[in-house]
Amino acid sequence: MISMRHKIICFGLSLLTGVLISSSVMAQNNLTIIGSLESVPVELDMSQLQAVLKGEQMRWQDGTKVKIALMKTNTPIGTVTSEKIYDMSGNELNKYFLALVFQGKVKAPAFFNSESELEAYVSQTPGAIGVVQSTSNDQINVVVIDGKKQI
Amino acid sequence: MKQQKNRLLYLFFIAGWLALSHQTLAQDTQIRGFANVDINIKNDQLNFGFGEWDLFITSDLNDKFSFLGETTFKYSPSAATEFGVTVERLIVNFNYKGNHSILVGKHHTPVTFWNDTYHHGRVFFPTVGKPLLFGAGIVPIHTTGIAFQGLTLGKLKWTYNLMIGNGIGSHEISDNDKFKSVTASTYIQPVNNLKVGASYYNDVISKGAEYKGGTAAEKFNQQLFTGSVSYFGNKFEVLAEGTFVNNNGDSTGVARSYATYVYTGVRLNENWIPYVRVDYLTYESGEAYFGNEDTFSFVGGIRYEITYLIVVKMEYQQFDREVSGHSKLVSAQIAIGF
Query: Nearest CA of chain B to the CA of A62: how many Å?
Result: 10
Per-residue model confidence (pLDDT) at position B173 = 84
Whether residue A106 contacts residue A55, with contact meaning beta carbons closer than 8 Å, is answered with yes
In chain A, residues 68-127 whose CB comes closer than 8 Å to chain B: 87, 89, 91-92, 94-95, 98-99, 101-105, 107-108
Report how many Cβ contacts below 8 Å link chain A to chain B. Answer: 59
Q: Residue B313: which of B277, B278, B279, B273 has the closest Cα?
A: B273
Query: Each residue of B276-328: pLDDT tens digit?
Result: 999 999 999 888 888 789 999 999 999 999 999 999 999 999 999 999 999 99
CB contact (8 A) between residue A59 and residue B99 = yes
pLDDT, tens only, B167-190? 998 988 888 888 999 999 999 999
Sign of the Cα pseudo-torsion (A33, A36, A39, A42, in order): positive
**Mean pLDDT, rounded, of chain B:** 90
pTM for this structure? 0.85
Chain A hits for B30, Cβ within 8 Å: 101, 108
> What stretch of H or E contains A79?
helix A76-86
Reported ipTM: the value is: 0.85
> How confident is the model over B119-154, as pLDDT tens digits?
888 999 999 999 999 989 899 999 999 999 999 999
Per DSSP, what are the bridge partners of residue B140? none
Whether B281 and B287 have beta carbons less than 8 Å apart is answered as: no
Nearest to A40 by CA among A131, A151, A140, A150: A140
